[in-house]
Each structure stands twice: as structure tokens, then as C-alpha cells.
Amino acid sequence: MNYKELFPIFENNEELVYLDTAATSQKPKSVLEAVWNYNVNHNANPNRGGYKLGIKSTNLFLEGKKKVADFINAQSGEIIFTKGTTESLNLLAYSYGLNELREGDEILVGISSHHSNLVPWQEVAKKLGCKLKYIDLKADGDLDLEDLSEKLNGNTKLVTISHGVNATGVIHPIKDLVSLVREKTEAKVILDAAQTISHIKIDVKELDIDFLVFSGHKMFGPMGIGGLYVRKEIIEKMKPFLFGGDMIEFVERKGSTYRTDFQKFEGGTQNVEGVVGLSAAIDFIEEIGLENIRSYEGEILNYAIEKLKDLEGVKLYCEEAPHKTPVIAFNIEGVHPHDVAQVLDLQNIAIRTGHHCTQPLMKYLEIPSCCRASFSIYNTFDDIDKLVEGLEKVNSYFR
Amino acid sequence: MDLDKIYTEVIMDHNKSGHNKRELENPDYTERGHNPNCGDDFTIQLKIEGNKIVDGGFVGVGCAISTASASILFDLIIGRDIEDGKRIVDNFLKMIKQEKISEDDKEELEDAGLLENISNMPGRVKCATLAWNGVKVILEKL
């Protein structure tokens, strides 16, 4: 199957070798058409107009919610749509963290976390006087469960983890982690699945997590739409943080009451075209099959690792972790990542360089920054060969 | 754009030699310049005596463009009056922002003038100006 054909951007950019899916994935034609179709046939403000078009828009929104819920084995009432992972985590920090945590409580954060899953908790800790602790990594970049075990105690109230590490692609052992947390504490567990949701099956019940966050644009969907799963019994405890619009129950001169279910988080006009696009993205993933996606990406990743290993001056990071998303983190000895990316860009090869919004992880790996090549089903073995040629050019120029 | 137009001989030489990349013994002023997008992080140091910039240098990590640009900068300003330093830095920053500067001012920028190409590459502007912005902050305090 030539998956590349399904993505119009490659028709319009024939030379493009896109190796930055971990930042955002390209969008298949079916997603683009679904968004177009919504706008030309059904667009109206959901949950408001009682006319046919408004009802259709509302139904598409609700169907999208059901689709997301089914995709991660949750219920519709447990899904809140947001702009994406960062907003989902901030919503949690405001609506759960600031209301449910107390002075002296401890928050455990994986040192490999994306800033979006770290800075909001720093803020919560600062405001409430909680203690923020980091879970260290093992030599292969995987989460150190022994370290976690030592740091868990009766004061631990929240454990928050990136499922797949943004910078290195390492997938952390969430089931084992949750078992440990449940065994020793009553802490809630947040899983940031932004880097894994389009690569491996996520089942919130099986993983036994309390919260899950993800972004649509990293799973072949549009930008500006993402989701938050909240275990049903917790939703009731959480307080709204955006006031107005649909989250309202009664508004009087002196005060107002709010909805108590997930809808208390849905103030304002919702991003229905985003939801429709996200629905189409889930259909796309399910048509190909996560197993097939994972297996193809695995082949590409292994091929890339083997090729890059043999290249002069290349240092790979965390390539030997037992489970990985299709991401390679590397540096070329003596050449700054930014210069590597520049030379590659001149050959139409797009990779990401920098600290990948994981500054504590970079410090942990004792590097200021690195290069990251990340893959998806639209990448080919030829793309990897071009990357290798590009890196050879970097070597010939800089070393 | 051709690779040679970005990584000119002057940039490659400065990047390799990095002769102003050193820690001063007793700097009078220190300023940390950071480019959060790429992780570049320079600490800029200056020694000022009276009205003169008597010494300067930088330490830290940066790409070839930021390293070379910093190296060129210190070559230009060490030994100059504070006012000259300010003018040179301002003119360089103007040039990179694609604002007009006079031929005389351009001439005064010497090797730094060769970085003009970078002004066409938004992704690299921050690299080229990292050290310059740090020096600007220090000189404006004086």
C-alpha cells in the first residue's frame, strides 16, 4: 500500500521529505474532505439553533464525541473537547489541580515530560504549596519504576506522565506504573498520549488511568482540536474554568448555576469542523488499522536506526529502549543540530531540532539540544535513504 | 539558497576558530542570551574601563551562525568606545531586520556585513543576533 498517495501535501510538494510527524502529522484527503463537506453542507452553531442545520451540526459534534470515546474505550460523557493537549492539561491544572490538591500534597512528574505536562503543575505546586517531584529515567531512556516506587507515598496525589516521549520516542510502561501507583497511593494518574495515540491502541479502562490528553493534529486530524478524557466520577468534582455559553444552567442577576456533567467545560461555540475532521482521522486510522500502522512504522524506524548507526559522527539517543514511537533522536558530533537541520532543509528534508519542549530531559541527557527525525505511514524507505544522504552532506561540509 | 551563501568561508572560519569564545577572568558585565527554540544559550561578558570596551567574550552553546556571529561581534567592539559599540550593534540589528543603513555604517560592520544574507532566513535571525542582543542589553545599561 502506498500510503503517501493518500496525503495531498506530497502532491503539492513533490520533493518534500517530511520527518516531523511528532510535531504535527500531515492530513489525509479524507480528513480534508470531511472538513470541507461539513462547511459546505452543514455549518451552523451547535446546541443553539432549533432549525435543521443547527441540529445537524449538533449531531455531528455528538457523533464525533462518541467516536473519540469508542476509540479509547471511554463513554461519551467522559470526553471533553479542547484545543489540544496543552489546553487539556491546563484545564486539568485549573479545574482539578487547583481545587482538589492541598498544601503539602505531592505531584510526581516524569522528567521526560513535555513542558505542557510540567509547567502547569509547577504553577499549581507554587500556588498551593505542593511538592513537585520528578521521576528519573533508566539508561535506555525508559521510566525508572524503582525510582517511582521510592518517591510514591501517602502524600502523592497526582502522577502525570508522557506516554511516548516527545524528544526520544521512548514509550513508558504505563500499565506497570499505574499498578504501582494504585498499590501504594490514592493518587490520580494523568496520561499524555499526544505522541502515542496515532501509533498504538489506547484503552483507558485497560490502562486504568484517570485522565488522558491528546491532540487531533498529531493523529492526522486538524489543528485546534483535541481531547481530554476524565474518569466519570471525577468529572463531578471538577469545577468549570471557562464561564459562559453552553456551560450555563440558570443565570440570575446575583449569580449563576452551571451544568454538572462534562458540558460544564463546553462554554462557547464548539469547534465542530475540528471534531468532524478528528472523526474522519479516527476513521482513517481504523481503516488502515493501528496494528498495520505500528508494524509499517516499526520497519521504517528499524531501517533508519540501522542506517544512522553506521554513519560517521552520529550519536543516537535512547534507540535501545524496548518500546518506541517512530522517533529517532540524534546528534552529529561537533555539529550543532540547527546547522544539521539547515543543511537538510536545503535538500527539502524537514526534521526538528532544539530541545523539543523537554528542557529538563535535555539536561538529564546532558545535551543542550538534539535533532529529531520522526516518521509516519507516509514515509518511505527512500525518505530514510535521502536523510542518510543529507547527513552525509552535513558531515562532508562541517566535519 | 545555496549552502555556501549561508555558511560562507568567514562564518565557517569564525565558527571553527571561535577565538572570542572564552570566559573572562573578572568581567564587569554578564548577560545570558537564550534562544528557546533551538536551545542556544550564550553568556556574554564585557570588561569596561571608563568609556571603553576593553575586553569581551562569550561562553555557551550555539550553532555555527550564532557562534560565528558572536565571534565577529567581539572582534568589532573590543577596544572601541561605548558609543561606537552601541552604534555598531544597532546598525547590525537594523541590517538583519532588513532596515536601511548607510554605506558608511555597512562598511564599519566589516565581516558582520557578510551576515546580511541571514536577514532573508527568518529561522536563523535569532541565531545571528543572539550575542548582539546580549551586548545591546549591557551597553544600554551603561
Amino acid at the residue B86: K
Position B38 pLDDT exceeds 70? no
Position B35 pLDDT exceeds 80? no
Amino acid at the residue A228: L
CB A360 within 8 A of CB A134: yes
Is the torsion defined by CA of A7, A13, A16, A19 positive or negative? negative
Q: Which of A336, A355, A362 sits opposite B62 (nearest CB)?
A: A336
**Other beta carbons within 10 Å of A361:** 29
Instruction: Record the cell numbers describing residue A308, joined without a space.
Output: 544512522
SS3 A345: helix
Q: What is the pLDDT of chain A when averaged over all its residues?
A: 95
- Provide DSSP, A237-285: TPPPSS-SGGGEEEE-SS-EEE--SGGGG--S---HHHHHHHHHHHHHH
* Contact criterion met (CB < 8 Å) for B40 and A338: yes
If you average pLDDT over residues B23-36, what whole number do you get?
89
A337 touches chain B (CB under 8 A): yes
For an interface test with B, which of A115, A119, A331, A339 has the most B Cβ atoms less than 10 Å from its Cβ?
A339
If you average pLDDT over residues A372-393, what whole number do you get?
97
* Contact criterion met (CB < 8 Å) for A336 and B37: no
If you average pLDDT over residues A167-179, what whole number do you get?
97
Q: With pLDDT > 90 as the criterion, what percentage of chain A qualifies?
A: 88
Q: Identify each DSSP E strand in A65-176 by its residue range.
A: 79-82, 106-110, 131-135, 156-162
* Contact criterion met (CB < 8 Å) for A339 and B41: no
A399 touches chain B (CB under 8 A): no
pLDDT digits (tens, 9 = 90+) for A37-88: 999 999 999 988 789 999 999 999 999 999 999 999 999 999 999 999 999 9
SS3 A107: strand
The pTM of the full predicted model, rounded to 2 decimals, is: 0.92
Q: Which of residues 20-79 of B touch A (CB under 8 A)?
A: 36-41, 61-67
Residues of B in contact with A389 (CB under 8 A): none
Position B56 pLDDT exceeds 80? yes
Q: Which of A339, A362, A397 sits opposite B63 (nearest CB)?
A: A339
pLDDT digits (tens, 9 = 90+) for A242-272: 998 888 888 899 999 998 888 899 889 999 9
CB A80 within 8 A of CB A92: no
Q: Which pLDDT belongs to residue A174?
A: 97
Burial of B74 (0-12, 13-18, 19+ CB in 10 A): buried
| Cα–Cα dist B92/B106, whole Å | 8
Residues of A in contact with B6 (CB under 8 A): 342, 346
Q: Which distant-in-sequence residues (6+ apart) come within 8 Å of A362 by Cβ?
A: A167, A355, A356, A368, A369, A370, B39
Residue A377 β-bridge partners = none
Q: Which pLDDT belongs to residue A142?
A: 96
- Provide DSSP, A212-241: EEEEGGGTTS-TT-EEEEE-HHHHTTPPPS
B128 touches chain A (CB under 8 A): no
A354 touches chain B (CB under 8 A): yes
* Contact criterion met (CB < 8 Å) for A368 and B41: yes
For an interface test with A, which of B40, B124, B130 has the most A Cβ atoms less than 10 Å from its Cβ?
B40
A244 touches chain B (CB under 8 A): no
Closest-approach residue (CA) in chain B for A360: B39
| Cα–Cα dist A107/A101, whole Å | 9
Q: Which distant-in-sequence residues (6+ apart) come within 8 Å of A272 by Cβ?
A: A38, A43, A46, A57, A60, A61, A64
How many residue pairs bridge chain A and chain B with CB atoms within 8 Å of each other? 50
| Cα–Cα dist B71/B58, whole Å | 8
ipTM above 0.90, yes or no: no
Q: Which of B38, B64, B65 sits opposite A354 (nearest CB)?
A: B38
Q: Which distant-in-sequence residues (6+ apart) come within 8 Å of A161 by Cβ?
A: A109, A110, A113, A117, A135, A143, A172, A174, A177, A189, A190, A191, A192
Position B96 pLDDT exceeds 90? yes
**Other beta carbons within 10 Å of A51:** 9
A130 is an active site residue: no
Catalytic pick among A130, A318, A357, A370: A357
Residue A160 β-bridge partners = A109, A190
* Contact criterion met (CB < 8 Å) for B3 and A355: no
Q: With pLDDT > 70 as the criterion, what percentage of chain B qualifies?
A: 96
B7 touches chain A (CB under 8 A): yes
Q: Does residue A289 or residue B114 have the better pLDDT?
A: A289
Residues of A in contact with B2 (CB under 8 A): 346
Q: With pLDDT > 70 as the criterion, what percentage of chain A qualifies?
A: 100
If you average pLDDT over residues A311-330, what whole number do you get?
96
CB B46 within 8 A of CB B135: yes
Q: Which of residues 162-181 of A touch B (CB under 8 A)?
A: none
Instruction: Record the cell numbers describing residue B39, joined without a space.
Output: 536551545
Residues of B in contact with A362 (CB under 8 A): 39
Q: Which of B3, B65, B124 sits opposite A343 (nearest CB)?
A: B3
Closest-approach residue (CA) in chain B for A398: B12
**Other beta carbons within 10 Å of A379:** 24
pLDDT digits (tens, 9 = 90+) for A215-245: 999 999 999 999 999 999 999 889 998 998 8
Instruction: Record the cell numbers describing residue B142, joined without a space.
Output: 551603561
If you average pLDDT over residues A309-317, what whole number do you get?
95
Question: Cell numbers 538529564 label which residue?
Answer: A364
B139 touches chain A (CB under 8 A): no
A338 touches chain B (CB under 8 A): yes
Position A367 pLDDT exceeds 90? no
Amino acid at the residue B75: D
pLDDT digits (tens, 9 = 90+) for A103-131: 999 999 999 999 999 999 999 999 999 99
CA angle B140, B141, B142 (to 5 degrees): 90
Which of A112-121, B28-37, B75-84 is the least confident region? B28-37
Is the torsion defined by CA of A346, A350, A351, A353 positive or negative? positive
B13 touches chain A (CB under 8 A): no
SS3 A133: strand
Q: How confident is the model at residue B2 (pLDDT cuts 50, 70, 90)?
A: confident
Residue A315 β-bridge partners = A331
pLDDT digits (tens, 9 = 90+) for A137-156: 999 999 999 999 999 999 99
Segment (H or E) for A342: helix A337-345
Amino acid at the residue A281: A
Q: Which of A336, A355, A362 sits opposite B64 (nearest CB)?
A: A336
**Phi and psi of B43, rounded to 5°?**
-110, 120
B111 touches chain A (CB under 8 A): no
Position B1 pLDDT exceeds 80? no
CB A355 within 8 A of CB A337: no
From A338's Cα to the closest Cα of chain B, the distance in A is 6
From B82's Cα to the closest Cα of chain A, the distance in A is 32
| Cα–Cα dist B68/B61, whole Å | 12
Q: Which pLDDT belongs to residue A399?
A: 80
